[in-house]
Structure 1
Amino acid sequence: MNERQTIEDSKRAFLKSFPHVIPPLYRRMVDELLVELHLLSHQKKFQQNLLFSIGIKEVFSRFTIGYKPTEHLPLLFDSLCKSSGFEPSKIKVQASKHTTHESAKNIDDLKILLVDSNNHSQANTYYCRLMAVGVYELVMKTQTTENKDEALKESIVISKSIGLPVERVEKDLKVYSSNIERISQAIELIRETSLTEKKKKEGSNPKKEEDSPLKGDK
């Protein structure tokens, strides 16, 4: 990674790689990830690990639900990563290495897995909120219920056991959960508005064959 690269350099690299208009609803997510990845690229203690890779993949997936055109999404993800010197293919491979059916059957298995594989490296690694998201998403996929409050508690316990700052993890995950709820509501509102507008247009534009003066009894 180039330590001399500024945030403006990262933004220019991103725009050059992704020359498409981003829908307004998703611009904030893109900008925040762009800035976060840029800052991480300058942190000497930061290590791209399993939790980070899972975290960024999940954040991107969750906050691009409803994005159109969908065929732009792979390029959007790759452009975000590459703009700050991260290799998207490495992130994808690293994130896919952990599958619950192969590695962790339950929360206890997950806790042991992460402690064994990450405890030593995590203790001296620069923390970022994407790591907390990585823990949370693994917990959500491993636990038998979709209880978000329970997942948050388990995530905090596991985070403490692998050396992540508990207070920051709790704060970051609460914000993450809140933002997921907000974007879900925004997407639903857009869908409802679009459906209402479609019905209005259909109501004001009856089928031509019904209005045709040529239509009559045979």
Structure 2
Amino acid sequence: MNNAPVRTVSDAKRDFYAHHTRPINSIYRRVVDELMVEMHLLSVNVDFAYDPIYALGIVTTFDRFMTGYLPENDTSSIFNALCRSINSTPEHYRGDAEAVKAGVNGMSLDDLKGQFDNLGEGGEGLRGILAKVANQDKFKYSRPFGIGLYTLVEAAASADALKDKESVEALFKELGEKLNMSTEKLQKDIELYRSNLEKFAQAQEVMKDMLAADRKKREERKKAAEAEAETITETVAVAPEAGEPSDS
């Protein structure tokens, strides 16, 4: 019997900052903190079982909501620290996420929906992952799992198929029921995720405008300073030297 103490959020945060020592841009800090806490709490939950769809949800959430982070090179370090904070690796998460997403390459939405049929019979690849979820006695649903599921649908569906809110709700109700899970939380998480993506896109546009305006102001100040320096230089060049009589 394992009597080791359960790791706390503080333990996870300490491990995170041991692997990523640079400050995190304040605009993105909430995204990182929420992911860190969520990943930690799930990792210590006795009913939670890691699976590739969950991994895809974590990777997708991080990549989409960290878009535009500066310095860009820090994003790899931050994701590495997130995974290390729960005693995992970025290779594990990204490898599983890429593999399960690759499994829907070339599928139509109807093809993907077909993967959810007759899950009691098991299967291989994506169907096998779905069957394991559907046949668990105590499947611990999580928001990242819902986002991972949405990412798979997004990869197979046309953009038009995901425009209508009611159609999306009906689709995930159907998929959730085939996975033998409560669909209400799944539908709410998908709706919130889609809404947050829209808000984030709008916020990015605002940030771009602010950065562009800031660059323009800096350029104007630089030109003004250069013009002033040039004027002073010209004045000095034409001024009489010391001891030289003026024309008056």
TM over 0.5: yes
Residue 75 (structure 2) pairs with residue 61 (structure 1): no
What is the identity, as a one-letter code, of the residue corresponding to 2:153? V
Within the candidate set 143, 150, 153, 1:139 is matched to 153
Matched with 2:50 is 48
Matched with 1:83 is 85
Moved more, 94-103 or 178-187: 94-103
Within the candidate set 211, 216, 223, 1:199 is matched to 216
Deviation, 1:190, is 1.4
Residue 194 (structure 2) pairs with residue 177 (structure 1): yes
Within the candidate set 69, 72, 76, 1:70 is matched to 72
Deviation, 1:163, is 2.1
Moved >6 Å (runs of 4+): none
Counterpart-to-counterpart distance in 2, 1:119 and 1:70: 38
Residues 189 and 166 of structure 1: is their aligned pair in 2 closer, same or farther, counting only changes over 3 Å?
same
Counterpart-to-counterpart distance in 1, 2:47 and 2:90: 20
What is the identity, as a one-letter code, of the residue corresponding to 1:142? A
Give the TM-score of the pair, scaled to structure 1. 0.87
Deviation, 1:41, is 1.0
Within the candidate set 9, 12, 15, 2:11 is matched to 9
Matched with 1:109 is 111
Extract unaligned runs of 5+ from structure 1: none
Q: Is the 8 A contact 2:53 2:100 kept in 1?
A: no
Matched with 1:155 is 172
Moved more, 128-137 or 77-86: 77-86
Matched with 1:121 is 133
Q: Is the 8 A contact 1:53 1:95 kept in 2?
A: yes
Q: Identity of counterpart residues, as a percentage? A: 27
**Secondary structure, aligned partner of 1:212:** helix
Moved more, 97-106 or 17-26: 97-106
What is the identity, as a one-letter code, of the residue corresponding to 1:212? E
Counterpart-to-counterpart distance in 1, 2:173 and 2:229: 65
Counterpart-to-counterpart distance in 2, 1:25 and 1:106: 37
Counterpart-to-counterpart distance in 2, 1:99 and 1:167: 24
Counterpart-to-counterpart distance in 1, 2:170 and 2:148: 14
If asked which structure has higher relative contact order (CA below 8 Å, sep 6+), I would say 1
Residues 151 and 31 of structure 1: is their aligned pair in 2 closer, same or farther, counting only changes over 3 Å?
same
Q: Is the 8 A contact 1:110 1:139 kept in 2?
A: yes
Q: Is the 8 A contact 2:56 2:101 kept in 1?
A: no
Deviation, 1:45, is 2.2
Deviation, 1:39, is 0.6
Residues 14 and 136 of structure 1: is their aligned pair in 2 closer, same or farther, counting only changes over 3 Å?
same
Counterpart-to-counterpart distance in 1, 2:24 and 2:150: 28
Within the candidate set 208, 212, 216, 2:230 is matched to 212
Give the TM-score of the pair, scaled to structure 2. 0.77
Give the alignment's Cα RMSD to 1 decimal.
2.4
Residues 104 and 50 of structure 1: is their aligned pair in 2 closer, same or farther, counting only changes over 3 Å?
farther
